[in-house]
Structure 1
């Protein structure tokens, strides 16, 4: 099929519709797995300390798969790479079901590593949304994919009881149920992507840009990965620091609230408000980035993160309400930063998915380190010490924002409206 006969806008609308559907499936599977993997690990190993290991291996799987799948997409396109991630994740979930049935902790660890590939494909979906987007709609398109994950973030944990009941009906251990449901979600998502993500948006974007490139430009030496990495490094730093700030504060605030006497219901409500800030306002974050640009958006997001830290530190008093407000602002700041940074990375990478996957790998690894360090830091220096670290990270986002730069060759297929 000639690229001249393809309606790029129509393909983009179809791609976005497909992405929104599979994001609901993918995000539901991921949040359900996170909700029970630690519990199953502790039950199989007989040690509460093993619960953290299961979460760590799942995070490790996400980080490793993010780059490996991106490298595959760079050669074969989005369709093959994303489908492979979901299908590998489905196999990992099946291994976890077997682990629950036979009572094998090592098998569970192996399964959670493979399961991370499904989450990596879901993360990559936000970049897929930008492949065929016009330059003035790139952030908005990306933000819609982030926004629809709200459904999965809410529905996943709420469906654990039903999934356990289904597993019991099949004679399986109850905790195998969420992994069984995750396997089905990942399998359906992978098959849908493989069957319907046609034409491949990345391959179409590359072909379209080649057809529009003047002969003298095509003969010029293209920017290599090292040159593009130098351009994108400050934006990746902003993405990584924003995510590390969010994770470190999010995982320890419930403990601080518990120490202050908050009920479990109150703590749960605060976490729900946090997720609301993370996802519900993503379309607004996208509109902001499209309207005022990436650098001001990242600066605003970093500023929101700093304000959230100050609120959590007791600037307006220490109470369950202020902790909830701090978590909401933390999620909102993360949303603004993530949408803006991811949009800029998509533009600067010029279709090189390895840079996108590398950014996600760095984000995952550093945030995992921040989560692991948060406990010891809080044990030694208290919640104030943890917030001091978060404030430094947040300030780093603002500094990195000031160093972001535009691409010499903007990656844009569609025409501006």
Structure 2
């Protein structure tokens, strides 16, 4: 039986009704993203430091990022498929629940000093990271085409509160964990467990009617009214914009993850405090999400491609500043990581909008999930290689490599958007 017939019939409301559902959807997504943001900050802030402590080596400090990014890749695939069949609510709710269980496992592994359990739990913890990223699509399902960038930005900016607070709670969460007999570096994962499980509960309970299922019903009704083809006959190949958007998001993810992962290690090697690490990462995560409302408006107003190009240029600037900054210069490292987050923000929102524009409801979740798999795998590669590059060379070399890599998105954009000759 085709996928589009597997759901119960949804009554399609009028334009005002759809606008009301969209507003409610955005409110629920905002609540879920605030909670989810607090959960994802743990792995960014202390995952590498916890592995360094348990493994006793810097060379594998990028492994936690690689593990939870691989976990996010699998989850992105599954969430895309779940959404295609059962809607956003099921996919996002279950993804956050898995991330919460992974965070609990990290805490148990730290207490028991069980490295294999740490690795498995970090892999599972990555489910929350992928789900937090996938939630940005829920706000776009019912959005007008001219407002898609803004809709993505609403979901992303909502992540800021939790994501910025998380790294800056490293010290108090560490003290709280120590009072419970838990290693201090595992403290942020206590917050992640609660945050992810709460985010999943909010989405499962409140994301109704399901925005994706309703968007698909709207498309089917419009097609039937126009006497068009049935949903099963719709061409399922995405447009060129989907490939361009995927490339933008993949390259920006590699650059961001590689530099971000090694920054706490670099700072600790120069005797900077955990509080300083938390400040730098907190501001970095803030730059990843806080400018989203402005970025979304710019993506809708001046275009997807110009903002994607701005992403590559900003990431290059971040790499250069990080490379020349002395290891004990808190100010310059803050500037570098803020630019890094801002470049990633430009790339993710413009790339997401390119993908949405190039897909239709019948194929959108599947393609979105597949692209997020590639993004996650790119991040895993960046995280794994970052430790190797830094151990064999330097943080400066790593930062420059990440910055220049991001510029590759510019020729790809020009290639995919060049005028095509019309056959005679």
Using the size of structure 1 for normalisation, the TM-score is 0.84
- Separation of aligned partners in 1, 2:245 and 2:407: 14
Asked if 1:234 corresponds to 2:282, the answer is no
Secondary structure (helix, strand or coil) at the match of 1:218 reads: coil
8 A Cα contact 2:66 2:381, kept in partner:
no
| Matched ranges for 1:266-305 at <5 A | 270-305=280-315
Partner of 2:132: 122
Asked if 1:3 corresponds to 2:12, the answer is yes
The one-character-per-residue Cα deviations of 1:191-249 (angstroms, maximum 9, x if unpaired) are 2111110000000000011111244422484122xx21654112211111112122233
8 A Cα contact 1:345 1:356, kept in partner:
yes
Number of residue pairs the alignment of both structures matches: 401
- Separation of aligned partners in 2, 1:267 and 1:162: 14
Aligned mate of 2:229, from 200, 213, 218: 218
Asked if 1:60 corresponds to 2:41, the answer is no
Partner of 1:339: 349
Task: For residue 367 of structure 1, report the CA deviation from its aligned partner.
Answer: 2.3
8 A Cα contact 2:38 2:191, kept in partner:
no
Partner of 1:361: 373
Compared CA separation, residues 57 and 35, structure 1 to 2 (3 A):
same
Secondary structure (helix, strand or coil) at the match of 2:143 reads: coil
Aligned mate of 1:27, from 37, 46, 59: 37
8 A Cα contact 1:147 1:281, kept in partner:
yes
More displaced 10-residue stretch of structure 1: 53-62 or 160-169: 160-169
Superposed CA RMSD: 3.2
8 A Cα contact 1:69 1:81, kept in partner:
yes
Task: For residue 362 of structure 1, report the CA deviation from its aligned partner.
Answer: 1.2
- Segments of structure 2 that go 5 or more residues without pairing to the other structure are 1-9, 419-424
- Separation of aligned partners in 2, 1:312 and 1:40: 23
Partner of 2:82: 72
More displaced 10-residue stretch of structure 1: 29-38 or 130-139: 29-38
- Separation of aligned partners in 1, 2:100 and 2:354: 31
- Separation of aligned partners in 2, 1:3 and 1:367: 39
8 A Cα contact 1:349 1:356, kept in partner:
no
- Separation of aligned partners in 2, 1:295 and 1:248: 24
Partner of 2:337: 327
- Separation of aligned partners in 2, 1:379 and 1:171: 32
Compared CA separation, residues 329 and 10, structure 1 to 2 (3 A):
same
8 A Cα contact 2:103 2:121, kept in partner:
yes
Task: For residue 9 of structure 1, report the CA deviation from its aligned partner.
Answer: 0.8
Task: For residue 52 of structure 1, report the CA deviation from its aligned partner.
Answer: 4.2
The one-character-per-residue Cα deviations of 1:131-189 (angstroms, maximum 9, x if unpaired) are 11111211111112211222122211233444455556666665555434322222222
Secondary structure (helix, strand or coil) at the match of 2:209 reads: coil
| Matched ranges for 1:193-208 at <5 A | 193-208=203-218
- Separation of aligned partners in 1, 2:127 and 2:170: 21
- Segments of structure 1 that go 5 or more residues without pairing to the other structure are 407-417
Secondary structure (helix, strand or coil) at the match of 1:217 reads: coil
Partner of 2:5: none
- Separation of aligned partners in 1, 2:391 and 2:56: 25
Asked if 1:209 corresponds to 2:230, the answer is no
Compared CA separation, residues 166 and 382, structure 1 to 2 (3 A):
closer
Partner of 2:422: none
Task: For residue 48 of structure 1, report the CA deviation from its aligned partner.
Answer: 6.2
Task: For residue 94 of structure 1, report the CA deviation from its aligned partner.
Answer: 3.1
